[in-house]
C-alpha cells in the first residue's frame, strides 16, 4: 500500500489565500516568505493574512483583543491618495489602522523600471512618508533569489519599528517602564509584554535607562 503524502495544510492554505490576493508570482513568493518568518519571529506570536476588508472588520470587533500579539499582512491595501500597496504589515494592538511598514515588489518581469515608473514610485514613497509610513522596496530578481534573507530584513526592521512605537505608546500614557519594573508594578501594554525573539533568552526591554 502506498504511504500517504505528507502535506502542510496551514502553509498550503496560506499559499492558496495569497494567490487569490496578490498581483504576481513574485508577490506570492515574498508573501509566503514574510508569513513564514513573521509567524516565528517572536515567541508566542503569530501571523495572519487578511484582505483589506477582513482587517478593517477585525479592528471593529471584540476579536481584536485576541490578535494583539500578532503580525497582520494585508496584500494590495488600497489608499485613495496613494493607490495600492503590494503588502502592508500591521501589529494590530500597537498601530491599529496604520501600517508598520509598506512593502513594494518592483520589477515583476525581472527588468529595471522605466523612468516614468520610477518617478511614480518616488511620488508614492513621498506620500507614504507624509503619513509616517516607511516603505521598503525590493526587486523581483532579489525576491526570487533571496526571499528568505529579505524576509529576515523586514522582520528586523519591524522589530525596531515596534520598539519605537511601543516606547511612544508608554510615554503617551505616562508609564515609566523601568520604574514600574523596579517597583514590581504592573502596567497596561498593547500586547503580551515584553516582545521576545523566538529562540532567545528572556530579555526585558526597558526604556529611558
pLDDT value for 13: 87
pLDDT value for 7: 44
User: Which range is least confidently modeled, 65-69, 126-130, 182-186, 202-206?
Assistant: 202-206
Sheet containing 70-79, strands listed edge to edge, beginning at the edge strand earlier in sequence: 46-49, 70-79, 83-90, 101-106, 135-139
Instruction: Please state whether beta strands 83-90 and 46-49 pair in parallel, antiparallel, or not at all (unpaired).
Output: unpaired
pLDDT value for 2: 44
Residues 92 and 67: their CA atoms lie apart, in Å, by 7
> What's the mean pLDDT in 46-72?
87
pLDDT digits (tens, 9 = 90+) for 29-43: 999 999 999 999 999
Cell matching residue 203: 530579555
User: Which range is least confidently modeled, 3-17, 38-52, 54-68, 167-181?
Assistant: 3-17
Cβ contacts of residue 79 below 8 Å, gap of 6+?
85
Mean pLDDT over the full length of the chain: 85
pLDDT digits (tens, 9 = 90+) for 92-124: 988 888 899 999 998 645 445 566 776 777 777
Amino acid at each position: 500500500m502506498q504511504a500517504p503524502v505528507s502535506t502542510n495544510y496551514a502553509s498550503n492554505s496560506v499559499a492558496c489565500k495569497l494567490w487569490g490576493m496578490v498581483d504576481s508570482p513574485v508577490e506570492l513568493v515574498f508573501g509566503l516568505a514574510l508569513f513564514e518568518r513573521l509567524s516565528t519571529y517572536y515567541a508566542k506570536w503569530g501571523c495572519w493574512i487578511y484582505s483589506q476588508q477582513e482587517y478593517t472588520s477585525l479592528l471593529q470587533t471584540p476579536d481584536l483583543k485576541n490578535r494583539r500579539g500578532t503580525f497582520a499582512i494585508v496584500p494590495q491595501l488600497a489608499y485613495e491618495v496613494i493607490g495600492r500597496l503590494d503588502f502592508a504589515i500591521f501589529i494590530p494592538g500597537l498601530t491599529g489602522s496604520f501600517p508598520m511598514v509598506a512593502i513594494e515588489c518592483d520589477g515583476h518581469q525581472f527588468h529595471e523600471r522605466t523612468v516614468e515608473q520610477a518617478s511614480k514610485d518616488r511620488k508614492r514613497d513621498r506620500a507614504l512618508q507624509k503619513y509616517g509610513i516607511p516603505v521598503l522596496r525590493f526587486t523581483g530578481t532579489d525576491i526570487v533569489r533571496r526571499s528568505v534573507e529579505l524576509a529576515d530584513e523586514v522582520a528586523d526592521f519591524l522589530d525596531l519599528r515596534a520598539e519605537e512605537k511601543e516606547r511612544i505608546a508608554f510615554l503617551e500614557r505616562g508609564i515609566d517602564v523601568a520604574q514600574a519594573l523596579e517597583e514590581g508594578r504592573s502596567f497596561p501594554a498593547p500586547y503580551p509584554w515584553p516582545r521576545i525573539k523566538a529562540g532567545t533568552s528572556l530579555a526585558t526591554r526597558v526604556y529611558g535607562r
